Amino acid sequence: MLELKGVGKSFVNSGTVHEVLRDIDITVHDGEFVSIIGPSGSGKTTLFQLIGGLMPLDTGEIWLDGQNISGKRGHIAYMPQQASLLPWYTVKRNVALALQLAGADKKDALQQAEQWLERVGLGEYSAAYPYKLSGGMSQRVSFLRALLSPQKLMLLDEPFGALDALTRLHMQQWLLSIWEQNRRSVLLVTHSIDEALLLSDRIMVLSSHPATVINEIIVPFDRPRSSELWSSAIFNELKQSIYEQLQAPGAG
Ligand SMILES: Nc1ncnc2c1ncn2[C@@H]1O[C@H](COP(=O)(O)OP(=O)(O)OP(=O)(O)O)[C@@H](O)[C@H]1O
């Protein structure tokens, strides 16, 4: 459903051209969870901005459901690293907005938002304002908003990067269980190999300077998954192999 074909992007800094992305081909099928992992500064955020239509491509095309969306906005649900909830609305209203965008009337949207918040363990915060939420809770609400919004593809940009290690572990397991019951197409950017292996159906490994796809890994674990995977031999072999790919000359 999402197809990136030969995507390339360069920036000019102080008169010098820096090629950031070169000839990137990535596909995300309906209901598939794909992660992008790459060295810091390899251009993952730039790639998301291109998919979201926030800047023009230099080369290539981006297609979504048979439509060329290169340079066009509004086709994806985006979950940023820091939740951007509206501070003047309650948690319930923040979630309801996504449902209203998807066509529900306000009363229905509020009712469904309440039910969703119950389902994901945040029922007691439904009437609270976002400042009452911890970082992990804010990201749950942010994820829920992306999940319920009308766009079919979710882009998750390092969604747990700002959380402490323990909260991050809980959030990964939480996201896994919610997503496995409500499969949407997801493209996730992460620096964490464990996170990519736990959550994804496929992992795209990027090099840097310029970023190209250096490997595609089909993650062989059945679903539903649990964090017990972390102790399996194959998980650790794959982890080591991705780590070595990221360390290889030309990767970073
Ligand atoms: N608007 C811009 N103008 C000039 N250079 C830019 C611009 N945006 C990004 N860059 C450069 O492109 C490169 C890739 O940046 P980007 O933020 O996409 O990487 P990233 O992989 O998301 O980084 P990180 O993993 O550290 O978040 C960097 O060298 C950055 O300096």
For 128-155, how does the pLDDT look when each residue is reduced to its tens digit (9 = 90+)? 999 999 988 998 999 999 999 989 899 9
Q: How far is residue 15 from each of residues 12, 54, 165, measured CA to CA in Å? A: 6, 23, 41
How do strand 2-13 and strand 16-28 relate by DSSP bridges?
Answer: antiparallel
CA of 44 to the centre of ligand 1 (A): 8
Q: Does domain 2-75+153-159+181-247 have CATH number 3.40.50.300?
A: yes
Q: Is the ipTM of this structure higher than 0.85?
A: yes
Q: For residue 41, is pLDDT > 90?
A: no
The DSSP-derived string for 31-73 is T-EEEEE--TTSSHHHHHHHHTTSS--SEEEEEETTEE-TT--
Tens digit of each residue's pLDDT (9 = 90 or more) over 218-246:
999 999 998 888 899 999 999 999 999 99
Q: Cβ < 6 Å from ligand 1: which residues?
A: 11, 13, 20, 38, 40-46
Minimum CA distance residue for ligand 1 atom 15: 43
Cα 133 to chain centroid distance, Å, stands at 21
Query: What pTM did the predictor assign?
Result: 0.92
pLDDT computed for residue 249 by the predictor: 63
Q: What is the mean pLDDT of residues 201-209?
A: 93
Q: Which of 33, 39, 45, 35 is nearest to 9 (CA)?
A: 45
Q: How far apart are alpha carbons 8 and 195 in whole angstroms?
A: 27
Minimum CA distance residue for ligand 1 atom 1: 11
Mean model confidence pLDDT for the chain = 92
CA of 43 to the centre of ligand 1 (A): 5
State in Å, rounded, how far the first CA of the chain is from the last one: 30
CA of 50 to the centre of ligand 1 (A): 12
